[in-house]
Amino acid sequence: MSVENIIAPVITQAGINKTMLAVNAGMKAKVTHVALGDGKLVGATRNGYTPTGTETALAHEFARYQIGSAENLSGNEVALSVLCDGAPQGWVREIGYFLDDGTLFAIWSADATALFYKQAGVPMASVLTIALFGLPADSVQMIVGAPNVNLTIVGPFAALSAELLRLQNRVLIDDVATYTAQVQKTYS
């Protein structure tokens, strides 16, 4: 399963501060993880919210993944792929982007809006294009720490291809046997 969405996360004040410190030191802020949450606060009935930029964590994080690949589309737009796998499940109503030191860099959520559903035990490739406006161009680096999503599906596709070839071979052998018998009857 694959999900592709373009979202505009709010860069947190902590994310702005960390980026400013990195740029002033001649470096880049390094985003390493994407976290998923359902946007529910303990004891609250809301589903999702409008981020203010003062958040330091997701309201209710249920999974965190390393970035599988990143493609710079422009100075301020980056396409990230993340393989969401494992046991966690739930409606994704908030997404957090975390720096290498664990700081919440940016956050997305929307009132009563789910981006997708993460099913337990079902690997899902999620491609998220994020716009990083309000920061200097090329001041943020996405650090790939997980296998590329494309590489994680090579094994299953190879197994499927091998099975299809075996099936085609079996059908071909059966067809040759059938037509050979018919030709022998016809010309005997």
pLDDT digits (tens, 9 = 90+) for 22-38: 999 999 999 999 999 99
Closest listed residue to residue 144, CA positions, set 89, 71, 84, 51 = 71
What pLDDT does residue 173 have? 76
What pLDDT does residue 150 have? 52
Spatial neighbors of 48 by CB under 8 A, at least 6 apart, are: 39, 93, 94, 109, 110, 111, 112, 113, 114
**Does residue 160 carry a pLDDT above 90?**
no
What pLDDT does residue 169 have? 65
Cβ–Cβ contacts within 10 Å for residue 98, how many? Answer: 22
Task: Work out the burial of residue 42: count CB atoms within 10 Å of its CB; fewer than 13 is exposed, 13-18 middle, 19 or more buried.
Answer: exposed
What pLDDT does residue 1 have? 46
**Does residue 52 carry a pLDDT above 90?**
yes
Quick one: DSSP state of residue 60?
A: S
37, 56, 74, 96 from 107: Cα distances, Å: 11, 9, 20, 4
One-letter amino acid of 185: K
179 in Cβ contact with 69 (< 8 Å): no
**Does residue 164 carry a pLDDT above 60?**
yes
Spatial neighbors of 159 by CB under 8 A, at least 6 apart, are: none
**Does residue 11 carry a pLDDT above 80?**
yes
Closest listed residue to residue 116, CA positions, set 141, 91, 144, 86 = 91
Question: Which is more confidently placed, 164 or 73?
Answer: 73
pLDDT band at 54 (very low <50, low <70, confident <90, very high): very high
Q: For 39-43, 80-84, 147-151, which range has the lowest pLDDT when averaged over its residues?
A: 147-151
Q: Where are the domains of the chain?
A: 2-147, 153-188
Instruction: Tell me what the mean pLDDT of segment 68-75 comes to.
Output: 83
